[in-house]
Amino acid sequence: MSTSVLFDAPGPRARALMTVLNVVAAVAVLALVTWVAYLLHLKGQWSWTLWGPVFGPEFWQFYVMPGLTNTLRSAAFATVGAVAFGVLFGMGRLAANPLLRGFCGAVVEFFRAMPVLLLMIFLNLFLAKLMPGSPERLFLAVVLALVLYNGSVIAELVRSGVHNLPKGQGEAGLAVGLTPEQTLRAVQLPQALVAMLPALLSQLVVVLKDSALGQIIGYAELLRSARIFASANNDPLQALVVVAILFIVINWLLTVLANRLARGLSSRTSAPVKVTPERVAAGVGNAGG
Amino acid sequence: MGDYLSGLWEVLQKYDALGAFWVNIQLTFWAGLLALALGTVLAVMRISPIASLRLAGAAYVNVVRNTPLTIIMASMVLVITFQLGLKLSPNLNESGFRFAVVGLAIYHAAFFCEAIRSGVNTVPLGQAEAARAIGLPFADSARLIILPQAFRGAVAPLGSTLIALMKNSTVAAAASVATETASVMKVAIELSPDYLYAIFAAFAIGWLILVIPVGLLTTWLSQRLAVKR
């Protein structure tokens, strides 16, 4: 193994040992998988009466498609809103005015510390009071909760993006006679935004995953429609596996795109391009629900 | 004003708001222990020189990391408890709590694994080469040179994963743990709608008190323990 700091290049004896261990480990992993599959077989979970419905047209046409549409719709609106919120508050945190800076900092820190689910449940009840009977209430509650949380994370991305630029960039702006605000807008922010694009994409994974929290308040997204389908067919295992695979494939594609973008964008900015910058990772990580 | 506050106090006591936070703390504690253990095993697998273990570890992390936690928690009830009929305790509530812990641990183990691995990755190759150059065998170079630095580098990501785990413990609501904060807040607001804002404010303050010290502590620790390079 050459990519790890821990291990030296193996000699002939170590290589022979590694081959043996490799086979043993592979057998052990396969045995574990087979054992789980066998336990499922004992419970009769491989029967076609359970798997048939989730491959049928009814499930895909009336449950997956509408559910996935709602999931993607809430994620798309939440992403646009979160970027707007994040850029606005990120700039606010970099403002010269201490009052504005403090206010934006407090808002961002507050929403970063709140569990998204708590926020979503509150917003749902709050909107029910504000606009009783509105059909878009659940959608709005999901989107707003995602915007407030992820927007705050993006605000941190913007701030750390500007901080990670080489000092010369800001100094050059000031030297040609721009005011600090103009320097931020014309020199620093554009480079910071390019540098944070990959991190933004991987934040999209969090948005998409968190949109599934909508099922707890009753928003008709993918997980919820799969649950409704499964309760009629008594096959939640099979339906949830299909839904999980859909989420995994979409999120995996986003991650691949983020990594590719990070490699391609380095020439367009003087900031270090990373999928998760340390300053932000230290605050939140990517583990949103 | 005084009436309002004492009314709010009564509501919070009636629905046992403090007890709800205690449930979240317990969920975090047990799930954290389990996830850290599983995450360490996964991290060892992912940095081992054995290709099949690396592949298995990577597969686990990439699958779990891209699955919504809500699906994992919901399947703890719908799939494991009802469809497969498994129980972790004869008492249904207790069993639900334990499955919520398991679900949280399964999900966050992937993130703990990546946190530990990123700690190992902060150690420059030169450190290992220097250790070998002065004649240290594998065990000594790992024990004396690499792992101590790796641990220091992993403090910040481990801390952020712990904070995420704390906040995500509310998703136990999807595993029908009805005594945690998000569910209790919902019931309290629904039954005392006059106190909508005040109840949310109380729960929000509770979460700030829980999350911010952990954040400050991990930031302080990670800066204090950081290896200057």
pLDDT at A276: 59
Residue with the larger pLDDT of the pair B135 and A3: B135
| Residue B134 phi, psi (nearest 5) | -85, 10
Residue in A closest to B76 by C-alpha? A237
pLDDT tens digit string along B93-131? 899 999 999 999 999 999 999 999 999 988 998 998 899
The interface residues of chain B toward chain A in range 29-68, judged by CB-CB distance below 8 A, are 47-53, 56, 62-63, 65-68
B47–A114 CB contact, under 8 Å: no
d(CA B118, CA A13): 30
Q: Which residue of B has its CA nearest to A130?
A: B196
Q: Is the ipTM of this complex over 0.90?
A: yes
The number of beta carbons lying within 10 Å of the beta carbon of residue B37 is 13
pLDDT given for residue A284 in this prediction? 40
- On the question of pLDDT at B216 being above 50, the answer is yes
Contact A289 B171 (CB under 8 A): yes
Whether the full predicted model's pTM is greater than 0.80, yes or no, is yes
Domains of chain A, by residue range, sit at 11-46, 49-288
Contact predicate A132/A141, CB 8 Å: no
Closest-CA distance, B49 to chain A, in angstroms, reads 5
* CATH superfamily name and code, A49-288: MetI-like (1.10.3720.10)
- Please, are residues B172 and B140 in contact by the beta-carbon 8 Å criterion? no
Interface mutation target, options B66, B162, B183, chain A, most CBs of A under 10 Å: B66
Q: With helix as H, strand as E and coil as C, how does A166-223 read?
A: CHHHHHHHHHCCCCHHHHHHHHHHHHHHHHHHHHHHHHHHHHHHHHCCHHHHCCCCHH
pLDDT at A2: 46
Q: Are the beta carbons of B215 and A113 separated by less than 8 Å?
A: yes
Q: Is the pLDDT of residue A287 over 70?
A: no
CATH class of B2-225: mainly alpha
Instruction: Round to whole Å and give the CA distance between B173 and A178.
Output: 52
Non-local CB neighbours of A250 within 8 Å, separated by 6+ positions: A208
Alpha helices of chain A — where are they, by DSSP H? Answer: 12-42, 48-55, 57-59, 65-93, 98-113, 116-130, 137-163, 167-175, 180-183, 189-211, 214-217, 222-233, 236-265, 278-283
Query: How far B203 CA lies from chain A's nearest CA (Å)?
Result: 9
CB contact under 8 A, B71 and A244: yes
Nearest CA distance, B112 vs chain A (angstrom) = 10
How far does the CA of residue B33 sit from the closest CA of chain A (Å)?
Answer: 17
Place of tokens 């790796």: B150
pLDDT digits (tens, 9 = 90+) for A227-258: 999 998 889 999 999 999 999 999 999 988 88
- The residue among B130, B142, B138, B157 whose CA lies nearest residue B225 is B157
**How many whole angstroms from its chain centre is CA A156?**
15
pLDDT band at A75 (very low <50, low <70, confident <90, very high): very high
Please tell me chain B's helix, strand, coil percentages from 3-state DSSP, rounded to the nearest 5. Answer: 85, 0, 15
* Cα A124 to Cα A106: distance, rounded to the nearest angstrom: 23
